[in-house]
Amino acid sequence: MKVSIRNLSKRFTSGRRTTAHAIDDVSLEVEDAEFLVILGPSGSGKTTLLRCIAGLERPDSGEISIGDRTVFSHARRIFVPAERRGVSMVFQNYGLWPHMSVHQNVAYPLRTAGVPKSATGDRVRRALELVGCGGLSERYPSQLSGGQQQRVAVARAVVNDSHTVLFDEPLSSVDALVREELRRELAALQRELGFSAIYITHDQSEAAALGDRVAVLSQGAVLQVAPPRELYAKPTSGYLAQFLGAPNQYAGTVEQADGARLVTSSVLGRIVSEADGASFAAGDEVTLICRPERLTITATEPSTTENVCAATVESENFLGICTEYIVRVNDVRVLVRSMNYPPLAAGQQAWLSIGSGSVALVSRT
């Protein structure tokens, strides 16, 4: 079900009467059956925004619509209580009743909605089977692992066929291997059932794996909304690039813009990049963004000279899935993550290659 958020703001006042915007004029559209991830660091306003959608917080201004119904409007003095909004929510800490069995926990939303007991059993069984917990109905939460508890929490959220499900960092309390497994299961479940999902996280890889689109939130404001691949390749600011895992950023000046290619002078030398629709002109001050995993480092000099820099290896750190190097080029440090190349020792001469398609430019003005 479509969710529309228009010009939403929420302020909190401290004991000293100072006011801070937890949410500052946020507007978002979540399409029917879309998986939208809201990504941001701690304190960015993610949970406050989710609680406003759920009806657990009353915003100070703006509107929220779910489907064709307005559930909050400051101007029209509308505030639909949480229990009447028709949304489900999965919490970070599971939120299971410890004195209830798994079956009773999952059946709770049906019972409060007045669903006849005769119809409850089949729906609970189906929900538990969907999340792989069909044989756990008589256990209690204390008898379950963290992953099992979170699966039960998801079953409780989908048992009443809600068209909109909210997720408050639900995987942050489980270990890494279980988190990856649950992530895949959750994505498959959302596709199968077709509900609209709004999912908050501070984990960039989780956002990329789950989201049809990702909205990046910082200090209560939305900085960019885009599909994960576009967000990765075309961040709109240096801050966004840094937050999304691109620490290699260097000041530069556009020397040439001929439509298809850009030539930029920088501390790395003259770097050629693909224009890719960018509207830069000669003389523009820019920041070059080079992702560590898209750089190539070799012990032998490449045959081409374009976008190739002589480098000195400062450190090498084997991380299992890749090797991380810090190299020095023209008195600046560059981080490189390599999966396919032989070890290079500290102090060794090397060559850094920067593919024209692996450079993003953002304006410094």
**Cα distance between the two ends of the chain:** 39
Could you list the residue range(s) of the whole structural domain that residue 266 is in?
238-363
Average pLDDT over residues 306-316: 94
Among 183, 199, 233, give the residue marking a domain's end: 233
**DSSP readout, 294-349?**
GEEEESS--S--TTEEEEEEEEEEE-SS-EEEEEEETTEEEEEEESSS----TT-E
For residue 95, give every residue at least 6 positions away whose Cβ sits within 8 Å of its Cβ, in sequence order, or none.
153
User: Residue 10 in contact with residue 60, Cβ under 8 Å?
Assistant: yes
The pLDDT confidence band at residue 25, using thresholds 50, 70 and 90, is very high
Per-residue pLDDT band at 1 (split at 50, 70, 90): confident
With bands split at pLDDT 50, 70 and 90, how would you rate the model's confidence at 246? confident
Q: Is 263 in the same domain as 186?
A: no
What CA–CA distance (Å, rounded) separates 146 from 104?
18
Q: Are residues 251 and 219 in the same domain?
A: no
Render 67-96 in DSSP notation, one character per residue. Answer: TTEEEEETTTTEE--GGGS-EEEE-TT---
Cα atoms in the 13 Å half-sphere on the side-chain side of 356: 14
Are residues 82 and 196 located together in one domain of the fold? Answer: yes
Which domain CATH number covers 345?
A: 2.40.50.140
User: Do residues 110 and 130 both lie within one domain?
Assistant: yes
Cα–Cα dist 19/25, whole Å: 15
pTM of the model: 0.88
Predicted confidence (pLDDT) per residue in 130-153, tens digit: 999 999 999 999 999 989 999 999
Are 209 and 242 members of one domain?
Answer: no
| Number of domains comprising the chain | 2
